[in-house]
Amino acid sequence: MLNILTGLPQNKKDDNTICNKFANSVGTKIILGSSTMKMYCRELNIVPEITILPADTTTPKYFINGIDIATEGIITLNECYQILSGKSSDNKDADEIVKKINSEQEIKFIVGTADNGEHLFYKQNNLLPRTEIVKKIIELLKDKKIITEFI
């Protein structure tokens, strides 16, 4: 089972429940989004390790105890979609995530629906917002068992 947590819950009161549920889930765990990682670490009292990256990478690298991959969200999700659609990408995290997606038969997406106010940035950079890009990724995974929870 591959578990992917991305985005903050619409209701902040749900943060702790979502984070504990995700922490206790079975299988590979991926967190996509800096705010999502901050929430997860805050709610579970975890101190993340942040690695300063070489100039040839596109996203920050985080190490969180119990999490297999933790990285930036929207750009990485959009890059995952591109790779799954047959296009190439220089985003190493997206490439690694797609390998995990391809190797698992059951994938659970937990997608936060809180507004992060970045719509202009997405539009200027031709990026789809979180809920839209996750839905497009799911459309490409017809041979997988997909569980989606919009929170």
Residue 103 CA to residue 118 CA, distance in Å, equals 32
State the DSSP string of 19-73. Answer: HHHHHT-SSEEEEE-HHHHHHHHHHHT---EEEPPPTT-SS-EEE-TT-SEEE-S
pTM of the entire predicted model: 0.91
Closest to 72 in 3D by CA, of 90, 59, 54: 59
Q: What is the pLDDT of residue 63?
A: 87
At 53 the pLDDT is 60
- What is the per-residue pLDDT for 32? 96
- Output the pLDDT for position 57: 57
Read off φ and ψ for residue 3, nearest 5 degrees: -110, 125
User: For the chain (length 151 residues), average pLDDT per consecutive 10?
Assistant: 97 96 97 94 89 60 89 94 95 94 97 84 87 96 96 94
Q: CA–CA separation, 91 vs 80, rounded Å? A: 9
For 7, list phi and psi in degrees, rounded to 5.
Answer: 90, 160
Domains of the chain by residue range: 2-150
Cα–Cα distance for residue pair 151/14, rounded to 1 Å: 8
Q: Are 130 and 140 in contact (CB under 8 A)?
A: no
